[in-house]
């Protein structure tokens, strides 16, 4: 997932207050209980993606740089919520991934994917969050056009689905570092083995068992990052993250391709509680893992994105009325 929830980035340290008398403390608990509701929290995220700087005009012909993602979060309990995310654009909208075959760069055709995530989040503390769910990557468009086939994939699609469980720890602001926070995350993934992979060869579709000796792959992804409040007064925040491991799967292939490392740099301007704007650079690489990318073969995707986030917390809006 490739991406962590932004909820952890919104943490703040409450100001110290005197201990209230017993009656006031009891009344405060009642008020907090009454304030909780199951109204959804919506994020609508339009995205513009600029492909990698090494792409040429010929490689980006027909490339559509705009899409809309976002999420719907439904509070189930004060610390527990369900979310559905649609993750698009960036390195999932590929004008021409740079593939090294025997050290020579080549550029496959256009592809456009969407990742659909169903997840549960439980906040053990302001610093520690547990997350579990399922991720499904669907190829909406390939060189041959939009795939209308159902899951699992056809030869015109590259699908991926896996279940995961993750833990993310975000430090409190470190005043000696200007209020910066560090985050650490580990994710365990279970991906079913595709025993019926469709492969197109000579105009004929053949089916291959990806791995007849087992039914699931168990992988892990680690992530570290830093969040720096560059100019809190004007709402500017910088973040940098590095992830490595089994970051992404391509299931519909004789060999399960995986991104092995991904770096993300972003700067965000928060205008108010309803809108923020982010410029982001992402760089993903497939490292050595045998077929189809033994040394010196590799695959490299890079993009620059501009994201808007229209945030609608219906719980907060209801409390204001």
| Residue 199: predicted pLDDT | 65
CATH of the domain at 270: 2.40.160.40
Residue 3, in any domain of the structure = no
Residue 19, in any domain of the structure = no
| pLDDT tens track for 79-104 | 999 999 999 988 888 765 556 666 66
- 156 against 319, higher pLDDT: 319
Residue 18, in any domain of the structure = no
Residue 118, in any domain of the structure = yes
- 254 against 272, higher pLDDT: 272
Residue 21, in any domain of the structure = no
Sign of CA dihedral 271, 266, 47, 152: negative
Place of tokens 């579990």: 132
Q: Tell me which long-range contacts 192-200 makes (C-beta under 8 A, separation of at least 24).
A: 192/161, 192/162, 192/216, 192/251, 193/217, 194/152, 194/251, 194/252, 196/152, 197/252, 197/253, 197/254, 198/153, 198/154, 198/155, 198/252, 199/155, 199/254, 200/155
Residue 208, in any domain of the structure = yes
User: Nearest 5°: CA angle at 45, between 42 and 49?
Assistant: 165
- 287 against 69, higher pLDDT: 69
Residue 267, in any domain of the structure = yes
- 312 against 302, higher pLDDT: 312
What is the average pLDDT across 235-248? 90
**Percentage of the chain modeled with pLDDT above 90:** 41
- 37 against 28, higher pLDDT: 37
Mean pLDDT, rounded, of the chain: 77
**3-state DSSP assignment of residue 227:** strand
| Residue 288: predicted pLDDT | 57
| Residue 256: predicted pLDDT | 64
| Band of pLDDT at residue 118, cut at 50, 70 and 90 | very high
| Residue 217: predicted pLDDT | 84
- 145 against 279, higher pLDDT: 279
| Residue 301: predicted pLDDT | 79
Asked if residues 189 and 221 have their Cβ atoms less than 8 Å apart, the reply is yes
| pLDDT tens track for 270-284 | 999 999 999 999 988
- 258 against 3, higher pLDDT: 258
Say if residue 175's pLDDT is above 50: yes
| pLDDT tens track for 186-210 | 999 998 877 777 666 666 767 777 7
Asked if residues 139 and 166 have their Cβ atoms less than 8 Å apart, the reply is no
| Residue 295: predicted pLDDT | 62
Say if residue 72's pLDDT is above 90: yes
User: Which residue range forms the structural domain that includes residue 273?
Assistant: 37-320
| Band of pLDDT at residue 290, cut at 50, 70 and 90 | low
| Residue 136: predicted pLDDT | 86
| Band of pLDDT at residue 170, cut at 50, 70 and 90 | very high
pTM as predicted: 0.78
Place of tokens 């973040």: 239
Residue 86, in any domain of the structure = yes
Domain count, the chain: 1
| Residue 145: predicted pLDDT | 41
């Amino acid at each position: 997932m490739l991406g962590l929830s932004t909820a952890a980035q919104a943490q703040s340290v409450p100001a110290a207050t005197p201990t209230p008398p017993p009656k006031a403390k009891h009344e405060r608990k009642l008020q907090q209980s009454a304030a909780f509701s199951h109204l959804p929290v919506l994020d609508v995220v339009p995205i513009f993606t600029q492909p990698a700087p090494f792409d040429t005009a010929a490689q980006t012909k027909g490339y559509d740089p705009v899409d809309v993602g976002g999420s719907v979060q439904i509070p189930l309990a004060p610390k527990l919520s369900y979310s559905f995310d649609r993750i698009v654009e960036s390195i999932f909208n590929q004008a021409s991934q740079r593939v090294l075959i025997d050290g020579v760069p080549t550029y496959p055709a256009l592809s456009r994917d969407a990742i659909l995530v169903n997840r549960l989040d439980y906040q053990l503390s302001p610093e520690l969050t547990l997350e579990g769910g399922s991720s499904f990557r669907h190829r909406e468009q390939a060189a041959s056009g939009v795939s209308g086939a159902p899951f699992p994939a056809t030869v015109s699609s590259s699908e991926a689905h896996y279940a995961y469980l993750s833990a993310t720890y975000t430090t409190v602001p470190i005043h000696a570092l200007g209020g910066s926070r560090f985050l650490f995350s580990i994710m365990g993934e279970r991906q079913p083995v595709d025993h019926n992979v469709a492969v197109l060869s000579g105009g004929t579709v053949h089916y291959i068992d990806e791995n007849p000796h087992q039914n699931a792959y168990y992988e892990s992804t680690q992530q570290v990052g830093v969040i720096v409040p560059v100019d809190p007064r004007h709402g500017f925040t910088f973040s940098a993250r590095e992830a490595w491991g089994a970051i992404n799967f391509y299931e519909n292939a004789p060999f399960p391709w995986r991104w092995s490392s991904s770096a993300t740099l972003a700067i965000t301007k928060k205008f108010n509680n309803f809108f923020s704007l982010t410029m982001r650079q992402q760089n993903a690489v497939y490292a050595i893992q045998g077929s189809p990318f033994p040394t010196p073969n590799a695959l490299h995707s890079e993009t620059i994105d501009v994201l808007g986030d229209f945030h609608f917390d219906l719980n907060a809006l209801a409390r204001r009325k």
